[in-house]
Structure 1
Amino acid sequence: MIKRVAGTLFAAMAIGALAAAPANAVQADFTGIVALNNCSGSVVRPPSAQDSDPALVMSNGHCVKFMGANEVILNQSASRTFTLLNGSGQNLGTLRATKLAYATMKDTDVAFYQLSQTYAQIQQQYGTRGLELTTSRPTAGTNIQVVSGYWKRIYNCRVDGFAYQLKEDAWTWRDSIRYVSQSTCNTIGGTSGSPVIDTASGKVVAVNNTANESGGRCTLNNPCEVSQSGQVTVRNGYKYGQQIYNIPACIGAGNQFNLSAPGCTLPRR
């Protein structure tokens, strides 16, 4: 997986650094983006969220810890802090979680922290908004941007396709997005948890989580793709993210996770 980073060594060297965007892309900025101590993340809101709801921060499950292959965390007390960025990547202030609302590395690799502040309070204090989660499955060929709060860098990519299963060490993820491996899409350690943003809609379509770093087969930092028929394919250098279009169905009133809600397909305990 795209490794978590210990500490913040060299992070300042990347402030404001942007990969060149394709001419037809809408350039994202750092509005709503946060930096964790070891990963990236974003303030996000499902379409049904109210301004008065406690805000959510999305990252990877492996940014919480290297979770068990079948582990699910729901509504666990937490006090983690996040550095909120403005549009140009400068630090605005600190946000604090009250709980880890949901996290897993089973079938997907995602974590949601619930904050002590509402969306309205964050807007009033910092003048920034949350990023909207999509409810539509993206398509191949879509231009996307991976926005890293840890490195304060934006990576321009394109959806190449989807992996029926993506296997990495003990973990198996389903229907992962595969990004075209190109010079502007060279994500690195610390970009774990970055939102993957559709440049046409501006909505979050995935959370960035891994890459095949050296051509290995189904090992740590070298995921492999497994087709529905069981065929294994290794794509050296390719990057991957986990889709989130199915997650808003799991978030009910007050931004509370309800894994029994109609349409919710997130793994349960």
Structure 2
Amino acid sequence: MTRRLLGTLFAMLTASALVGTAPAEAATTTFAGTVALSNCSGSVVKPPEASLDDPALVLSNGHCLQEGFPDPGEVIVDKPSSRTFSLLSKDGRSSLGTLKAKKLLYATMTDTDVSLYQLDTSYAKIKSRYGIAPLTLSPTRPSAGIAMDVVSGYWKKIYSCNIDGFVHELHEADWVWKDSIRYTSACKTIGGTSGSPIIETSTGKVVGVNNTGNESGQRCTMNNPCEVDAAGNVTVRQGINYGEQTYQLTSCLSHSELDLANPNCRAPKP
């Protein structure tokens, strides 16, 4: 998993040298709405039907929790939290301020790798104080081939590539994720980029959350996920990185609260 705290010293130095840069094709994507966690990246996201007066939500990975990785099969809901997040400026060069969680709304590493924090302030108040609007969660499944940006608040770097395809099951150590997004090779994400929003460049909406990559070519081990198709065949793609889709979350949220009872909600439940 690309929390991988936090890659090698070489990766850290390389990423630091590239802070604030982005490929030309990612020029329309900015750092507005992104946050830095203590160990990962994240973003302020709004469900499509939510009001600006609703409590704001922060999206990241389940494996980015301060208390450690959730166990396979574990789903955490409505847990008090005071975690803080550094809100980035549009150009990513500075922190505008610190946002604070009220609770960990949802987190799991089963079928997906996601965490959602509910903040102690609203989208409207964040906009009023910092001039930053939230990113919108797309309610529709993305398509293979679309242009995408992985925006890392931790490293202040944008990775641009395309969706290469989707993985039936992605296995890493004891965890299994379903219908994962496979990136084309141009997105060389590193440790600390975990939790970054995957933004569809044509719409500016969030279609996924960055979570892992195969570092050394090993098969289905920690930091070396493998692809397993419907027939059980295993494929290892060294150097290729992955994310998890987020459109499923929109049917599990009512404004900024969980609605796991919604019959359209397909997210794992406790």
- The one-letter code sitting in structure 1 at the alignment partner of 2:47 is P
Question: SS in structure 1 opposite 2:129?
Answer: helix
Question: SS in structure 1 opposite 2:247?
Answer: coil
Q: Matched residue pairs, number?
A: 262
TM-score by length of 1: 0.94
Question: SS in structure 2 opposite 1:247?
Answer: helix
CA contact (8 A) 1:2 1:188 kept: yes
Q: Which deviations, in whole Å up to 9, do the C-alpha atoms of 1:51-98 show, x marking residues without a partner?
A: 110000000000012110111100000000000011111210000001
Give the whole-Å Cα distance in 1 for the aligned partners of 2:138 and 2:23. 25
Question: SS in structure 2 opposite 1:144?
Answer: strand
1:218 offset after TM fit, Å?
0.5
Aligned to 1:36: 37
Aligned to 1:92: 96
CA contact (8 A) 1:164 1:175 kept: yes
In structure 2, the CA distance between the partners of 1:4 and 1:117, relative to structure 1 (3 Å rule), is farther
The residue correspondences of 1:169-248 to structure 2 (distance < 5 A) are 169-182=173-186, 185-248=187-250
CA contact (8 A) 2:182 2:241 kept: yes
Question: SS in structure 1 opposite 2:102?
Answer: strand
Give the whole-Å Cα distance in 2 for the aligned partners of 1:169 and 1:154. 28
CA contact (8 A) 1:61 1:67 kept: yes
Structure 1 stretches of 4+ with a deviation exceeding 6 A read none
- The one-letter code sitting in structure 1 at the alignment partner of 2:121 is Q
CA contact (8 A) 2:20 2:91 kept: no
In structure 2, the CA distance between the partners of 1:16 and 1:88, relative to structure 1 (3 Å rule), is farther
2:77 pairs, out of 67, 74, 90, with 74
Aligned to 2:57: 56
- The one-letter code sitting in structure 1 at the alignment partner of 2:83 is R
1:145 pairs, out of 132, 144, 149, with 149
1:242 offset after TM fit, Å?
0.2
CA contact (8 A) 1:14 1:152 kept: no
Give the whole-Å Cα distance in 2 for the aligned partners of 1:53 and 1:173. 30
RMSD value over aligned CA atoms? 1.6
CA contact (8 A) 1:21 1:156 kept: no
In structure 2, the CA distance between the partners of 1:15 and 1:214, relative to structure 1 (3 Å rule), is closer
Q: Does 1:156 align with 2:160?
A: yes
CA contact (8 A) 1:159 1:177 kept: yes
**Structure 2: 5+ residue runs without aligned partners?**
none
1:13 pairs, out of 3, 12, 16, with 16
Give the whole-Å Cα distance in 2 for the aligned partners of 1:92 and 1:157. 28
Question: SS in structure 1 opposite 2:223?
Answer: coil
Give the whole-Å Cα distance in 2 for the aligned partners of 1:161 and 1:21. 23
Give the whole-Å Cα distance in 1 for the aligned partners of 2:118 and 2:18. 27
Question: SS in structure 2 opposite 1:191?
Answer: coil
Give the whole-Å Cα distance in 2 for the aligned partners of 1:13 and 1:157. 20
Give the whole-Å Cα distance in 2 for the aligned partners of 1:173 and 1:70. 11
CA contact (8 A) 1:4 1:38 kept: no
Identity of matched residues, %: 55
Give the whole-Å Cα distance in 2 for the aligned partners of 1:13 and 1:189. 12
Give the whole-Å Cα distance in 2 for the aligned partners of 1:139 and 1:4. 28
In structure 2, the CA distance between the partners of 1:4 and 1:94, relative to structure 1 (3 Å rule), is farther
1:19 offset after TM fit, Å?
3.3
Give the whole-Å Cα distance in 2 for the aligned partners of 1:33 and 1:51. 17
- The one-letter code sitting in structure 1 at the alignment partner of 2:3 is K
CA contact (8 A) 1:14 1:153 kept: no
